[in-house]
Amino acid sequence: MAARNNMRLDKLLSMLGEGTRAQVKEMIRAGRVTVDGAAARDSGMQVDPENSEVCIGGRRLSYKAVRHVMLNKPQNTLTAARDKKQKTVMDLLPPMYAAMGCMPAGRLDKDTEGLLIITSDGQLAHRIISPKKDVSKVYFARVAGTLGDEDIEAFAGGLHIKDSDGEFDAKPAGLEIVSASDGASEVRVRVSEGKYHQVKRMLAACGAPVVYLKREKIGALSLDPALAPGQWREMTEEEAALLEQEAD
């Protein structure tokens, strides 16, 4: 009987983005794939993805049981695993991430940019978005309206929101005014919950509808400024540890 964590060699190679099942089977038949130093001839052979040394043409493949990705989500992209009509955040990543069970941790509106964590650790994703954990999120916004000290106080006291999307009491939140001129402001908002369109609704309640919105931080984790909208990279061990600490 195969060990619990073992999988077929062709499945592992295709999961790691090395080609379709047919393509990786041809690589194996051609003798380009080695497992623990020996040429692999059987595409169905069982390998331990975490401990076996699997190489293609001498290049060792890297498998990690848990993957954490930092994405700078672009506008006009759905935060979803898949959609028949519209582009999703998972479409921005190689297929291996979906094959490994990676999913977005929380949501960003279609027209909102910024930091989105995509992870194969479902428990961590749940803790990041759980209201009980109070993991803060920081957003930068441009709004049509001039905000002032009274709005900072209103955010700090907790806003009562009542609009076409419903009614709720927002927890106390932070509002920092970056700049304000006649009819326009740039602000940063810190919230610790994730009601539907919450940041937009809170700012609109202060007479400042959002023109542009970008998430900059989740807990202590900041969006890498080197990532342009639509770009991504795997998180470092230190970054993953930051998230774990925030969600504990």
Cβ–Cβ < 8 Å for 140, 188: yes
* Residue 185 backbone phi and psi in degrees, to 5: -145, 155
Nearest to 23 by CA among 43, 46, 37: 43
* Residue 65 backbone phi and psi in degrees, to 5: -65, -35
121 is catalytic: no
**Active-site residue among 42, 48, 91, 109?**
109
Token pair 């700078």: residue? 72
Alpha-carbon torsion (61, 66, 68, 74), positive or negative: positive
60: number of Cβ within 10 Å: 9
Cβ–Cβ < 8 Å for 221, 241: no
* Run of H or E including 32: none
* Residue 140 backbone phi and psi in degrees, to 5: -100, 135
Calculate the alpha carbon distances from 10 to 7, 41, 45, 57 in Å: 9, 11, 8, 15
Cβ–Cβ < 8 Å for 28, 44: no
Distance (Å, whole) CA 117 – CA 105 = 6
Q: Which residues are catalytic?
A: 109
